[in-house]
Structures are given as structure tokens and as C-alpha cells.
Amino acid sequence: MRKSPSIQEPLVERRRTQRARVATPIQFRNVLRPEEPFKGSLSRDLSGGGVSVSAHAFVPKEARLVLLLSLPDSLKPIRVIGRVAWMRQRRFSEGYDLGIQFIEALSQDQERIADCAERALAALPSF
């Protein structure tokens, strides 16, 4: 059985690409429940490989989600399939934070997402 990390243990960075702080509207629902309405949120950060979002309801780790991302430079949402890579309940709140890895997207949509994140990173002041 795998030991869960304690609060004092540092988290290991497993992302392949750097994430940028991008707050953009995102909708999601479970792939296995197409009859359910999409839940809305804002992204917290974004990269070509994934996104983190806040959720008001529990979403289990490894769940497959249909995501609709509304990028700042896009007229219509981008549809991707993602996998919940991590989930944690927010302290003193009923909400959750989710890290979602993109697992299926059209190549041009994947490029648009990566470009959006890269532009946000490039806009950061350098010291």
C-alpha cells in the first residue's frame, strides 16, 4: 500500500511543462455521465499538458472528464478529455482543487492551449 504524503513532506513536481497562472472559464463533466450538466469553474493555472481548477463537488482521482476551455483569444471553447491526476480538499472549505492532465485533444487545440500558457509566462516580469 502506498503511503500518502504528510503535510510536512514536500510535493514532488511531476509536470512536464511549466504552468502559467491563467484564470479562464472552464466547464467539465464526467465522460461516463453525458446526461449530467457541465460544472463551471475558473482555471487556476494552465500548460500544454494540463490545468488546475477549483471544484465545488468531489471529483475522484483518475476520473475522466470532458473539458471545455474558453481561452482569452478564442471565440469558441476548446474541447479536450482530461484525467484527474490529483485532488485535494481545500482547508476550511467544502471545495476541492483538481489537477487535470490532458489525455486527448486535437493537435491544433493542444497547440492553442500551449501558446496561451507560453504567452502568459512570457508576459511575467523578469528580474
> What is the tens place of the pLDDT at every residue in 47-91?
889 999 999 889 999 999 999 999 887 788 999 999 999 999 988
> What is the tens place of the pLDDT at every residue in 39-51?
999 888 988 899 9
Q: What is the pLDDT of residue 9?
A: 44
Helix (H) or strand (E) holding 55: strand 50-55
Q: Domain 25-122 classified CATH 3.40.50.1100? A: no
Domain ranges of the chain: 25-122
For residues 64 and 85, what is the distance between their CA atoms, to the nearest angstrom? 10
| pLDDT at 14 exceeding the cut of 70 | no
Reading the block at residue 31, the C-alpha cell is 465522460
Region 12-36 average pLDDT: 79
